[in-house]
């Protein structure tokens, strides 16, 4: 499902005030030609790499798929000689149906990822698991992600909760701009501890960011999101971040591309 939002044009008369506000927004001056955005935006105190897996499951196989994942995945990745952790496993509730979403954390970055993949290829139980799982899937995709430096680390939460995964496709070259806006915007969304994690893509579909939120229920989600609009400055941040998303042509109007999934937690 796409979130579609129209944005109006800004008059030239407001340009000086807008430029001044933009200059005050950035938390630091960055010349993107001198360093990769991954070095400028990612957490320096950790070397964690994340993998986001999205599996489209045959509708008649979803229950069996969940049961298989619950039996195999935690058991394999709780072993100490695998430097990774299963952060969460979800089914979509609203959005793309019959879909499973998995988020993994690799402690130690790419070397840890390579080590895990190498060991799993030697693991007969995992090999059988992949074969059985493959018969249940229609399609699958994944991305390798890094954490934004200004987001908190994903940690286990008391439930039950619903989770919202908001994925945004940015215009090429605007990742640092997005990060600087959200370094301020995240402060508007911390009162209720709803911010789970914020990530940006490194390998897979590029120029993508993912925000993961947790709420007690849909009404709590609605109340928290509405409350943000009463905080001075939130509306401006939403406006300016919206302007750096990839535009889509639809009904002769330009909309902003963002996909939203409401997720139900599967594996504790």
pLDDT bin (cut points 50, 70, 90) of residue 249 is very low
Among 171, 164, 142, residue whose Cα is nearest residue 248 = 171
Decide if pLDDT at 106 tops 60: yes
Decide if pLDDT at 257 tops 90: no
**Total domains present in the chain:** 1
Calculate what percentage of the chain has a pLDDT beyond 70: 78
pLDDT bin (cut points 50, 70, 90) of residue 246 is confident
pLDDT bin (cut points 50, 70, 90) of residue 267 is low
Among 162, 264, 167, residue whose Cα is nearest residue 222 = 162
Which pLDDT belongs to residue 46? 64
Which pLDDT belongs to residue 146? 94
Q: What share of the chain is helix, strand, coil (3-state, %, to 5)?
A: 35, 30, 30
State which residues form the domain around 165: 48-267
Residue pLDDT, tens place only, 39-69: 667 766 567 999 999 999 999 999 999 999 9
Residue 18 lies in a domain: no
Residue 240 lies in a domain: yes
Cβ neighbours of 98 (radius 10 Å): 16
Which pLDDT belongs to residue 42? 72
Which pLDDT belongs to residue 266? 67
How far is residue 126 from each of residues 55, 116, 134, 138, 214, measured CA to CA in Å?
17, 12, 12, 20, 30
Give CA–CA dist 30/181, Å, rounded.
13
Q: 127: domain CATH number?
A: 3.30.70.100
Residue 1 lies in a domain: no
Mean pLDDT across 16-24: 45
Phi, psi of 72 (to 5 degrees): -105, -50
Mean pLDDT across 87-104: 93
Which pLDDT belongs to residue 35? 56
Residue 39 lies in a domain: no
Residue 32 lies in a domain: no
Residue 54 lies in a domain: yes
Among 231, 84, 101, residue whose Cα is nearest residue 166 = 101
Give CA–CA dist 208/175, Å, rounded.
8
Give CA–CA dist 52/149, Å, rounded.
18
Residue pLDDT, tens place only, 151-187: 888 888 887 899 999 999 999 989 999 999 999 999 9
Token duo for residue 237: 């941040």
Residue 37 lies in a domain: no
The model carries a pTM of: 0.80
Are residues 101 and 52 in contact, defined by beta-carbon separation less than 8 angstroms?
Answer: yes
Calculate what percentage of the chain has a pLDDT beyond 90: 53
Give CA–CA dist 40/44, Å, rounded.
9
pLDDT bin (cut points 50, 70, 90) of residue 76 is confident
Which pLDDT belongs to residue 39? 65
Residue 19 lies in a domain: no
């Amino acid at each position: 499902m796409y979130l579609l939002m129209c944005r109006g044009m800004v008059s030239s008369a407001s340009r000086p005030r807008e430029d001044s506000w933009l200059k005050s927004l950035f938390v630091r001056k960055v010349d993107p030609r001198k360093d990769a955005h991954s070095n400028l935006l990612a957490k320096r105190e950790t070397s964690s790499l994340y993998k986001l897996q999205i599996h489209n499951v045959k509708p008649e196989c979803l229950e069996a798929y969940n049961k298989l994942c619950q039996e195999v995945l935690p058991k394999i990745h709780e072993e100490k000689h695998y430097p990774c952790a299963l952060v969460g496993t979800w089914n979509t509730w609203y959005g793309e149906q019959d879909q499973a979403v998995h988020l993994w954390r690799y402690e130690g970055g790419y070397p840890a990822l390579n080590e895990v993949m190498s060991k799993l290829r030697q693991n007969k139980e995992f090999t059988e698991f992949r074969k059985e799982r493959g018969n249940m899937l229609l399609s699958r995709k994944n991305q390798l992600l890094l954490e934004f430096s200004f987001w908190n680390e994903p940690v286990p939460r008391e439930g039950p909760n619903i989770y919202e995964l908001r994925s945004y496709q940015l215009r090429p070259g605007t990742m640092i701009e997005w990060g600087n806006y959200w370094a301020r915007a995240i402060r508007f969304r911390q009162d209720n501890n709803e911010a789970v994690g914020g990530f940006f893509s490194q390998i897979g579909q590029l120029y993508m960011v993912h925000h993961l939120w947790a709420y007690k229920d849909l009404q709590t989600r609605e109340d928290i999101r509405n409350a943000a609009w009463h905080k001075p400055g939130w509306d401006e941040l939403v406006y300016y971040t919206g302007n750096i998303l990839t535009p889509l042509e639809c009904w002769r109007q330009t909309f902003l591309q963002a996909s939203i999934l409401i997720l139900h937690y599967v594996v504790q």
